[in-house]
Amino acid sequence: MSRHFAFMHVPKTAGIAFALAIRAATAAPGDVFGFDRHQFGSYDAFDELDEAQRSLIRLQASDWPQGIGFVRGHVTLGTLRAAYPRHELLTVLREPWSRLISLWLFWRGQSEAEMQGWGGWGERVGAARGSLGRFLANPLLATQTDNVLVRLLLAPHPLVPPEGFIPSSADRLLLPAARAALARFDFVGWSRIGRSAQNLANSWVGPRRSADTTSPPWRRPRCDRLSMRR
């Protein structure tokens, strides 16, 4: 019997390269990508999106198709567990500052034409064209910039607001819960400069729960040359 996988793709962790490597290394039947409701915070005008974009967003766990061997997306652990309770859980993490810089650079590089089908959400993405400081301070973007791993692991949670930032006073309760949630994964990889995503995938697909920490290569952002004000 072929193995079935559910990949919680933390944005800007080289997840696409890892997903392609997993697909190449396994015979998992089928492939589906999408977003769940929690990625969009307070934004809920999904009817204004073009059909192609709207088709990627699944508001309920029951909206995800069954019989799929490899499920991936910007989606919470709760959604994956509800939709695919028997799939093996995968995720890849990245140093948070590098992830944030990568997200900011990626979003600010999106053209108006590329964002046209995303309606009001595209306007939020366009906020990245401003300074890094304003981007990180924008409460409407907190689901993408503020403690993203904790949000993906625990949302919905009473201490994780759908809009705005998680208060630091919640750390005492949220961090142990997030660690416990992460321990439920069958594989947790760490993205760093070094070997390829294919090596990262191959190191685990055979023996379960490899301790490998290799990752896809990329150029590390020169954070010392980036201004919070520009």
Residue 214 has pLDDT above 50, yes or no: no
Of 16-20, 146-150, 219-223, the one with minimum mean pLDDT is 219-223
| Domain locations in the chain as residue ranges | 5-225
The 3-state secondary structure of the chain, one letter per residue = CCCCEEEECCCCCCHHHHHHHHHHHCCCCCEEEEEEHHHHCCCCCHHHCCHHHHCCEECCHHHCCCCCCEEEEECCHHHHHHHCCCCEEEEEEECHHHHHHHHHHHHHCCCHHHHHHHHHHHHHHHHHHCCHHHHHHCHHHHHHHCCHHHHHHHCCECCECCCCCCCHHHHHHHHHHHHHHHCCCCEEEEECCCCCHHHHHHHHHCCCCCCCCCCCCCCCCCHHHCCCCC
Of 23-27, 36-40, 62-66, 109-113, the one with minimum mean pLDDT is 23-27
- Average pLDDT, integer, range 127-137: 95
Residue with the bigger pLDDT between 100 and 14: it is 100
- Average pLDDT, integer, range 203-219: 41
pLDDT in tens, 50-86: 999 999 999 999 999 999 999 999 999 999 999 999 9
Residue 198 has pLDDT above 60, yes or no: no
